[in-house]
Amino acid sequence: MIKEITAKTLLSSAKRPDPWFGIKYTLNLYRGCQHRCIYCDSRSACYRIENFDGDVLVKANAIELLRAELPRKRVRGTVGTGSMNDPYMPLEATVGLTRRALAVIAEHRFPVHVITKSDLVLRDADLLAEIGRVYAAVSFTVTAADDALSKQVEPGAPPTSRRFAALAALAARGLYTGVTMMPILPFIEDNAENIAGIVAQAAAAGARYILPAYGMTLRDRQRATYYEQLDRRFPGLRQKYEVRFGDRYSAAADHASQLERLCADLCQRHGIPLRMTHYAPETEKQLTLF
């Protein structure tokens, strides 16, 4: 069910940009997500999103809040969207909050980092190119090299092939775009074939970076939903998780160090960095007398 809500604030701020994604200000236009990824950490109780898989809450006053809050930010930093939900989930096609937010960000000349699993982002290539004069990055999350597996673990999202096609289209327009290869699910995606397949497709599409992480979080409600989905989609795996990880907060991918070396070798071969370039504000030029 889709419901409208009125938000009190919109942008959350970090003391400094995070080292992975370079995000200073986090922007969430929706609460909940339609992609139904079986592993999503946003189900965790700490985020206080009730009925994460049932309701999507639309922040009806989001654009008004953004127009009010963004000019008051004294430090110009990257606005990031896509951490708690996908800004290009299916309803965005009709609601259009993300596009309107990007227009405000472009107007105020702030940098942006969009993280998504959807090719709907192509609709906004014009605004992203405009923002890109300052700084714009688009990261496509890819955890499975083939479509069949991606539809199992991310059933509501476009399949892997569509994400790479969108990445290639943005790269062809000169946009700074790459892959967030995370999470890599233990016993499902943590194998050399999957990692090599993702890197090869990323290289062919023109990815400018790959950000990998080998494993996943396993917190309270997130774990409960994930285990239910394992029982349904991968019978027998739940028991392996329970034996290996128990009640731990995180679950490292099997042979993570070997996969890390494999990915590094392949990326070096293709000339793809394992970190992205973050926005760096221009320093004021000191005037001279002569």
pLDDT tens for 208-224 read 999 999 999 999 889 99
Residue 50 pLDDT greater than 80, yes or no: no
Long-range contacts of 13-21 (CB under 8 A, 24+ apart): 13/73, 17/77, 17/78, 17/278, 17/279, 20/211, 21/78, 21/80, 21/113, 21/115, 21/139, 21/211, 21/276, 21/278
User: Cα–Cα distance between 42 and 214 in angstroms, integer?
Assistant: 18
104-to-10, 170, 226 alpha-carbon distances in Å: 13, 21, 37
54 pLDDT band, cuts 50/70/90, is low
- pLDDT at residue number 289: 47
Place of tokens 């399949």: 159
- pLDDT at residue number 254: 86
Place of tokens 């014009």: 126
Place of tokens 């990445």: 167
Residue 203 sits at φ, ψ, to 5 deg, of -60, -45
258-to-47, 167, 270, 284 alpha-carbon distances in Å: 33, 27, 19, 45
- Calculate mean pLDDT across residues 171-194: 98
User: Cα–Cα distance between 169 and 165 in angstroms, integer?
Assistant: 6
pLDDT digits (tens, 9 = 90+) for 229-262: 999 999 999 999 999 999 899 999 989 999 999 9
Q: Could you tell me the fold of the domain covering 2-270?
A: TIM Barrel (3.20.20)
Alpha-helical segments (H) within 50-183: 62-69, 92-95, 97-107, 125-131, 147-153, 160-172
284 pLDDT band, cuts 50/70/90, is very low
User: Cα–Cα distance between 58 and 56 in angstroms, integer?
Assistant: 6
> Of all helices (H) and strands (E), which one includes residue 112?
strand 112-116
Tell me what percent of the residues of the chain surpass a pLDDT of 90. 88
Sorted by where each begins, the domain ranges of the chain are: 2-270
- Calculate mean pLDDT across residues 174-193: 98
pTM over 0.85: yes
User: Cα–Cα distance between 143 and 161 in angstroms, integer?
Assistant: 12
- pLDDT at residue number 285: 42
- Calculate mean pLDDT across residues 46-61: 80
- pLDDT at residue number 123: 98
43 pLDDT band, cuts 50/70/90, is confident
Contact 124, 156 (CB under 8 A): no
213 burial (CB, 10 Å; 0-12 / 13-18 / 19+) is: middle
Token pair listed for 60: 């009806």
pLDDT digits (tens, 9 = 90+) for 2-15: 999 999 999 999 99
- pLDDT at residue number 174: 98
Q: What angle do CA 228, 234, 240 make, to 5 degrees?
A: 80
- Calculate mean pLDDT across residues 95-113: 98
pLDDT digits (tens, 9 = 90+) for 106-138: 999 999 999 999 999 999 999 999 999 999 999
- Calculate mean pLDDT across residues 42-64: 83
DSSP code of 91?
T
| 120: helix, strand or coil | helix
- Calculate mean pLDDT across residues 80-92: 95
- pLDDT at residue number 290: 46
